Structure 1
Amino acid sequence: MRVDLFDFELPQDRIALRPVAPRDAAKLLLVEGERLQDRIVRDLPDLLEPGDVLVFNDTRVIPAKLTGYRGDARIGATLHKRLDLRRWQAFIRNAKRLREGDRIDFGSGVAAIAEERHDDGSFTLAFEGEEPVELLLSRAGEMPLPPYIASKRAIDERDLSDYQTMFAANEGAVAAPTAALHFTPELVAALDERGIGRETLTLHVGAGTFLPVKAEDTDEHRMHSEWGQISPETAVRLNEARQQGGRIIGVGTTSLRVLESAADQDGTILPFAADTDIFIKPGYRFRAIDGLITNFHLPKSTLFMLVSALMGRERMLAAYAHAIASHYRFYSYGDSSLLLPEK
């Protein structure tokens, strides 16, 4: 399909630079079949049914954005995929000044060797020393806010908490699973009281999620892989919930991608621990999920293609037009939607 079929006009003032407070006070657009309804995130217990299960991504964002020097050349690096205990693949700013074998000094006693340049222009960075890389990043790194926020304001202390979900446990992401940023202990307690289940999986979100689709046709676009995991126990509980009539609702496109990667052709969710580069676009047959909670995505992005696959492209273009006209806030710190396709 042509990528420009997924384009729409978004006013710059609709891009949220800070989250609302409290988090569950954000707007929520219910898209249920052909119906649109304006609600707030706190209404979720009333919009879901007892027996439904929400699936959260428990990844934790690490301070994966680094700035250093190779000689007198200033080099920026955003880690996006762990390769082993000391090596990460990273997108590089000022990559023309970097060659294989060069040493980058990031300050605070943190340095890495640029081992290998990849076809997409990224590098493998091998960190020096014996300290855990996470400890090195805590000294020299900063939170890797999306470019549409970082280009408009400085990253600050608030982002250290604002850009983590309440479920964050397993370190390794360089982007937050932002749909879950809206959840609070009070909202979770209300969902529990309503009889709505809750499960977690892991997808360490990479910086590739922010990259624009440069191809003119979706068939020419290649996704970056990310590592995900579903435990055997979680898979069993999810399958049992579905067999009993409950709906599986992914909280965020990251959770959805792992669930769909783990499902077999009959929709049974299997244990999973592997990389996934699944690209969901119109024509895809969903197997594992019955709905999705997600923020509002960029024009011509793979994530807007994903929600179009779930609900229909025309339906989502209309929903986004409604959201823009109704002053919903877009992107990572923005408002939310609940997408429930027709059976």
Structure 2
Amino acid sequence: MPAPDSDTELREQPISRPRKIIHIDMDAFYASVEQRDNPELRGRPVAVGGSALRGVVAAASYEARRFGVRSAMPSVTAKRHCPELIFVKPRFDVYRAVSLQIREIFAEHTTLIEPLSLDEAYLDVTENRRNIPVATEIAEEIRARIRAETGLTASAGVSYNKFLAKLASDHNKPDGLYVITPKMGPLFVEALPVGKFHGIGPATAAKMQKLGIHTGADLRAQSLEFLQRHFGKAGHHYYWISRGVDERPVRPDRIRKSVGAENTFQTDLFALEEARTELLPIVAKVWRYCDGHGIRGRTVTLKVKYADFRIITRSRTLQVPVSGQAELERLSLALLEGVFPVQKGIRLLGVTLSSLDSEAGDDADSAPQLSLML
């Protein structure tokens, strides 16, 4: 979750009438579509994307996840975790078609739909087309319709703001529903480890833990000044979500300016070859999102953070959009090679694609950063 752009987006006082927000998240979407369409894959560990010898996993079925297989994991590692893993080539045209089916179901209930990707979205049902007063009832109806019309399962979170609705949808996965009421909200956040907060990645969670911040209660105990001093602009965001406060509206008209992903490493990188190996899953995640949303871009930017926290960026802009993952890899690796040899170890690498030409511009966020957990 990006930090809010202004102080007006998160306020201490609740809005006069609590919103009713639903977060719908499809369960292992790509892998579930493949299992639906191929009965031989049902009940078996499936990885979408990659192969037994190279590439990275784009998505994993729940059967594969039980072995520790995760998205963005190198395929070789995934196969080592799960020798019986079946690799399936992605079919993004099919995933997009199913996503449109699901959005049509959403649209029967509300016009306030904020898609985050092909498989998840926020819905504001405070005022809804069917005048159903209980958001939980709407969520149950949507889940039932998705199952009946697509043969797939979805998890849902219901709450009075986006932050808590997102947390709630993760609470009973897969095929579950969880409700966080205004009375429950602050207590729910207090008990949650900071690493479970949507928008707080491994690096930020580790930094918080070094500061003695392990749970939402610990985060809430910090002053706004303390959080801003240690986390910059994001400190304001952390201050309010630790209190269960998030007044960002559901926005159906967002325009994406860039797509990026980055990863902070446990051990600093000094060799070009190990840096190349670490960069490839980051590139794959960026391209997977772009390809899944029909997004193309002309500018590739490499971000490098050194052990002393100095950050540099290197960019290249083409005359035409990047044509595929292989080209994005080639451009990113060329930028990486330009920063070697290094005097200081590299603690973070990131890749961003911008100057976008989107076929689905309102499906995405403004200047997002995708979370990459390896």
TM normalised by structure 2 equals 0.23
Q: So what's the TM-score if we normalise by structure 1? A: 0.24
Return the structure number with greater strand share.
1
Higher relative contact order (CA 8 A, sep 6+): 1
